[in-house]
Amino acid sequence: MRKTLSVIGLVAMLASGLQAAGHKTASPGVSPDEAWRMLAAGNERFARNLALRPHAEAEHRRELSHGQAPWAAVVACSDSRVAPEIIFDQGLGDLFVVRDAGNATKTYSEVGSLEYAVEHLGTRLIVILGHGKCGAITAAVGGVKKDDASSIDELVAALKPGVDEARDKVGGLKGNALVDAAIERNVLFQMKQLLQASPVIAEMVEAGKLKVVGGVYDLENSRVNWLGEHPSEKSVIEGKKP
């Protein structure tokens, strides 16, 4: 069963004061769960049109000129409608963001960037964030054009495993229903791929120093549907087939 963010914990954070929660600056020692709660609270503010848009003032920018300590990393799609700092209501220096079409975690650039965040900047939470109506996943559902060797087709091919898992594990789906399922399965696949590709990240997760969680952003209601940690995380880290 997936481990998801406690609703009670989120409500408690919101009740403690939107203003205080929004302007909190996490220290490098922030826990994975605290970072997760802060993201969830920020997304709730954004969805309710109560965004605070923190950490953009001149004084804060001057502080950041001396260094950064982002408390969460987000791998998000390049889609112009899915800007992590905005949908999570965070500001400069809060999030370490990696973006590409389909929120993929395959290349050395993506994996290396995340390893840098957790090893050198103190980040203790990684979020793989998919989103509804994703064009890249829709293209992957439609299939790869084998007669076209463009980089776009290579990208689509890299996202195909998530589509295949959706077809295999949620049989009988077609059209938008299949795309929705594939978007979620792709998030889980990218989480698994990251854990397999990075011993650094896998070891920190196993030691309880880091969490890798997934979510899907809904373009219509502006809320993130949290998927939690990978359901086969332990087996993936141990190198076993999920």
pLDDT tens digit sequence for 171-219: 778 889 999 999 999 999 999 999 999 999 999 999 999 999 999 999 9
SS3 letters across the chain = CCCCCCHHHHHHHHHCCHHHHHCCCCCCCCCHHHHHHHHHHHHHHHHCCCCCCCCCCHHHHHHHCCCCCCCEEEEECCCCCCCHHHHCCCCCCCEEEEECCCCCCCCHHHHHHHHHHHHHCCCCEEEEEEECCCHHHHHHHHCCCCCCCCHHHHHHHHHHHHHHHHHHHCCCCCHHHHHHHHHHHHHHHHHHHHHHHCHHHHHHHHCCCCEEEEEEECCCCCCEEEEEECCCHHHHHCCCCC
Answer whether residue 4 shows pLDDT above 60: no
pLDDT band for position 139 (cuts 50, 70, 90): very high
pLDDT of amino acid 234: 94
pLDDT of amino acid 2: 47
Answer whether residue 145 shows pLDDT above 80: no
- The Cβ of residue 154 has, within 10 Å, a number of other Cβ atoms equal to 11
Short-list 66, 77, 70, 118, CA closest to 96: 70
pLDDT tens digit sequence for 222-239: 999 999 999 999 999 998
Lowest mean pLDDT among 10-24, 38-52, 129-143, 156-170: 10-24
pLDDT tens digit sequence for 67-119: 999 999 999 999 999 999 999 999 999 999 999 999 999 899 999 999 999 99
- How far apart CA 163 and CA 179 sit, in angstroms, is 8
Edge-to-edge order in the sheet of strand 125-131:
95-99, 72-76, 125-131, 211-217, 224-229
Mean of the per-residue pLDDT values for the chain? Answer: 87
Superfamily of domain 7-237: Carbonic anhydrase (3.40.1050.10)
- How far apart CA 163 and CA 183 sit, in angstroms, is 8
- The Cβ of residue 196 has, within 10 Å, a number of other Cβ atoms equal to 14
pLDDT tens digit sequence for 10-57: 444 443 334 334 444 445 568 999 999 999 999 999 999 999 988 868
Q: What is the mean pLDDT of residues 122-150?
A: 87
Contact 89, 44 (CB under 8 A): no
Name the token pair of 14. Answer: 């919101």
Short-list 208, 222, 188, 230, CA closest to 84: 222
Name the token pair of 241. Answer: 């087939």
pLDDT of amino acid 163: 86
Q: Whole-prediction pTM value? A: 0.86
Q: What is the mean pLDDT of residues 147-151?
A: 70
Report CA-CA distances (Å) from 14 to 3, 22, 34, 95: 21, 10, 13, 20
Answer whether residue 1 shows pLDDT above 70: no
- How far apart CA 164 and CA 141 sit, in angstroms, is 9
